[in-house]
Structure 1
Amino acid sequence: MSVMTVRSPRSMIALAGVTLAASLALGAPPATAGAPVGGHRCDASVPFVSGAEGYTGFRIPAVVTARSGILLAFAEGRHGSLSDAGNIDLVLKRSSDGGCTWGPLQVVHDRGPDTAGNPAPVLTAGGRLVLLSTVNAAAASEAAIMRGEVTAEQSRRVFVQHSDDEGVTWSAPREITGQAKAQNWRWYATGPGHAVRLVGAAHRHRLVVPANHSIAPPAGSADLGTEAKYYGGHLLYSDDGGESWQIGAVDDNPNGYVNVNESTAAELPDGRLYLNTREHNGSAPGNRADTYSADGGETLVLPYRPQATLVGPVVQGSVLQLTGPKAPLLFSGPADPASRAAMTLRISTDQGATWRPALALSGLPAGYSDLVQLDSRTVGVLYETGSFGPYETITFRRVPTGELIPRG
């Protein structure tokens, strides 16, 4: 397969100054590219700052650790505006010191004037980094795609690429829409956020990618303008390290009660998959829903049901199963029920049945996030935040697990 060398950064000197200012504004230590940090003793850093490196803004974080411990932070680099449609590149930064400092910006997937985004990275058993993403025409908005007003070529398409050198270079994006997207689906999004490699014996090394889609309203339906009820969620899985993909579990019942949308997954100690989704403006209690899969993501035990103990706004979130005996399940997301603010970590000690707050990272505006375990004592949170709006930076926080796990 052809290999694409990623492009290097723009204006690194300007970025260092902007990042320093952003770090201080967020109350974080100035852990910027090139800053001396000893023994991973930093608390936070700011890998992406809106208005820097040739981009108007950065959104949609995803994070994964390579085999050697190199940390890879992905985002959408948006030109011209923060709109979800337009000229958007999928970009990357790497860290060799646990997220305290970051290397130069790399462009991993560039569709010219069109949109490439929704990163969903995962590490295979052999050490290959696999990255799924989606593409659409710059002028094709989510609403237009859901209404069926665009051609198949302009609509959302699915791509995969890989790196065998821990993110230094990447293969050219390869389209897998035919394997990943059903004929009657319109909108489509991978993740966003990290995907999962299963370690349980039944489906060992299977890659599972949470994704979402929309279906077309029935012919003659009066639901124009209420397309949200036609959102659905599904899982993709690969048993050959990302070479081929299949559609697994699907939940797209358009009853308006739970409108499954952006989803996240974690493998529980008993081998089941725990799945948690953004409930997109349905009539169910709260703004989150969850379910389980007992067969590696091929089917769901039950359809998604409301998860009212996770309080927050309508927004993407991330889950991570911590390692260790009786280690809890972790969730990241804003905790303000009415707005995207107050990034907070929540824990579950009953495998996702109920949740409670564990640690508030800040009281500032905050949006999307992703979780990664750095070592047995530390987790990382990559999240959108800012002093006056949630999309000023994408910040990385290192959190000791001792601050999250209940004593005793």
Structure 2
Amino acid sequence: MAYESSVPYRAGTEGYTSFRIPAVVRARSGDLLAFAEGRVSSAADSGTIHLVLKRSADGGRTWGPLQVVARNGTGTAGNPAPVALDSGRLLLLQVHNAAEATEDRIRRGRVPPADGRRVRLQHSDDDGATWSPPREITDQATLPQWRWYATGPGHALQLRHGPYAGRLLVPANHSTPPTDPRDNGTEPRYNGGHALLSDDDGATWRIGYRDSDTDRSVAPNETTAAELPDGSVYLNSRNEAPSAWRRVDAVSTDGGEHLTRPFRPQAGLTGPAVQGSALPLGDRGGLLFSGPAHPSARALMTLRSSRDGGLTMGVPPRERSRAWGRTAHTVTGLPAAYSDLVRLDRDSVGLLYETGDFSAYSTITFRRIPVEEPT
């Protein structure tokens, strides 16, 4: 079967050295909005970085001109976490920091708070054609002791089922300082995951669940979330701990306020340490997950599916370590890294992902992929 692909972003073009960190949502108009970090002078994670956007009116087959959504002077505006509200309004959560505030320096506590990770929010009421100036929400979204901080990256959620319908949920992560002052604070065990919640369409925010330092084999980092038909939220996270488990997952049944259990290893999703994306399928508990499937390298972008909300692949309980084992679609055998999924229609999804012939960061590519609803 031939799959339609397009390339909205290519490194070394349109005034940017590199494009990283894809996120995609479908606007009320049906247009697709593909966000990314436009890295101006280098491919590094810090420096002068803009949040940029391209639009597709034909389901990702072609893309319009590049639009700069947010700048932070000579510093960084990054980690896009967009969400399309039922009202039609689009929200874009993001994180800003000074150009010289590298992740290492922030984790070590060597950056003043004003130059460190600041959480900001923009909105659009015209399907992304224009955007409000970034609004500071750091005091609502963080705790004073947190150092490193990131929203998403990837699409956020507005819950649509159950008693918490309408709530906004943004997966995020943070790091905490060490208890031993002789420690520099850069160890993976200081990573933690949390959610940002809003019950008034983004006017105000609060911190929901927090999960950090529950076990030395688990250190949640970049997290993706998917709402299940019963209103519960499935959370799947990159694991930064030096263990055999590269993915960890959890579930919330109260709209992201708490977890039913801490993040635990998800052995059925093999792959390297990397961000991934989850997307619900239909009303029977089906889920898709996108991410590299190579056990150690950022390569072999693959869609894998679960038919029971991420628990198992419908196999007997004694074989539940095979959860997520079914490959729904092998996207590419080439290098590949970050990705984000979006529902296009009943029969297809879109995947926005980093890939290239010899480097995972040469392009951000979009692919239309047919899917089957769980039966």
Match for residue 257 of structure 2? 298
Note the 1:348-387 alignment, pairs <5 A: 348-353=306-311, 354-356=323-325, 357-387=327-357
1:280 pairs, out of 230, 240, 243, with 240
Note the 1:52-67 alignment, pairs <5 A: 52-67=13-28
Hey, what's the Cα distance between the residues in 1 that align with 2:200 and 2:185?
41
Shift of 1:154: 0.9
**Cα pair distance change 1:78/1:342, threshold 3 Å:** same
Given that residues 210 and 264 in structure 1 are in contact (C-alpha distance below 8 angstroms), is that contact kept between their aligned partners in structure 2? Answer: yes
Match for residue 289 of structure 2? 331
**Cα pair distance change 1:127/1:160, threshold 3 Å:** same
State the TM-score, normalizing by the size of structure 2.
0.94
Given that residues 281 and 314 in structure 1 are in contact (C-alpha distance below 8 angstroms), is that contact kept between their aligned partners in structure 2? Answer: no
2:163 pairs, out of 202, 205, 221, with 202
SS in 2 for 1:340: coil
SS in 1 for 2:127: coil
SS in 1 for 2:338: strand
1:388 pairs, out of 347, 358, 363, with 358
Given that residues 108 and 186 in structure 2 are in contact (C-alpha distance below 8 angstroms), is that contact kept between their aligned partners in structure 1? Answer: no
SS in 1 for 2:12: coil
SS in 2 for 1:179: helix
Match for residue 90 of structure 1? 51
Given that residues 236 and 245 in structure 1 are in contact (C-alpha distance below 8 angstroms), is that contact kept between their aligned partners in structure 2? Answer: yes
Shift of 1:327: 5.7
Given that residues 285 and 308 in structure 2 are in contact (C-alpha distance below 8 angstroms), is that contact kept between their aligned partners in structure 1? Answer: no
Shift of 1:225: 6.5
Match for residue 236 of structure 1? 196
TM-align CA RMSD:
1.5
Which residue type is aligned with residue 340 of structure 1? R
Match for residue 252 of structure 1? 212
**Cα pair distance change 1:226/1:112, threshold 3 Å:** closer
Structure 1: runs of 5 or more not aligned: 1-28, 30-41
Which deviates more, 253-262 or 69-78?
A: 253-262
**Cα pair distance change 1:297/1:225, threshold 3 Å:** closer
State the TM-score, normalizing by the size of structure 1.
0.87
Structure 2: runs of 5 or more not aligned: 312-322
Hey, what's the Cα distance between the residues in 1 that align with 2:332 and 2:207?
38
Given that residues 354 and 363 in structure 2 are in contact (C-alpha distance below 8 angstroms), is that contact kept between their aligned partners in structure 1? Answer: yes
Given that residues 177 and 185 in structure 2 are in contact (C-alpha distance below 8 angstroms), is that contact kept between their aligned partners in structure 1? Answer: no
Hey, what's the Cα distance between the residues in 2 that align with 1:241 and 1:192?
20
Hey, what's the Cα distance between the residues in 2 that align with 1:378 and 1:205?
25
Which residue type is aligned with residue 138 of structure 2? T
Hey, what's the Cα distance between the residues in 1 that align with 2:285 and 2:261?
25
Which residue type is aligned with residue 267 of structure 1? E
Which residue type is aligned with residue 85 of structure 1? S
Which deviates more, 357-366 or 53-62?
A: 357-366
Match for residue 153 of structure 1? 114
Given that residues 288 and 307 in structure 1 are in contact (C-alpha distance below 8 angstroms), is that contact kept between their aligned partners in structure 2? Answer: yes
SS in 1 for 2:131: strand
| Cα displacement string for residues 335-384 of structure 1 (whole angstroms, at most 9, x for unaligned residues) | 00110000000001121112022210010000000000000111000000
Shift of 1:255: 4.2
Hey, what's the Cα distance between the residues in 2 that align with 1:227 and 1:82?
24
| Cα displacement string for residues 190-229 of structure 1 (whole angstroms, at most 9, x for unaligned residues) | 0000001101130111110000000010143x43375211
SS in 1 for 2:148: strand
Match for residue 172 of structure 2? 211
2:280 pairs, out of 321, 324, 330, with 321
SS in 2 for 1:202: helix
Hey, what's the Cα distance between the residues in 2 that align with 1:219 and 1:151?
21
Percent identity over the alignment is 59
Runs (4+) off by over 6 Å:
none
Is 2:277 aligned against 1:307? no
Which residue type is aligned with residue 358 of structure 2? F
Given that residues 230 and 254 in structure 1 are in contact (C-alpha distance below 8 angstroms), is that contact kept between their aligned partners in structure 2? Answer: no
**Cα pair distance change 1:151/1:226, threshold 3 Å:** closer
Match for residue 264 of structure 1? 224
Which residue type is aligned with residue 215 of structure 1? T
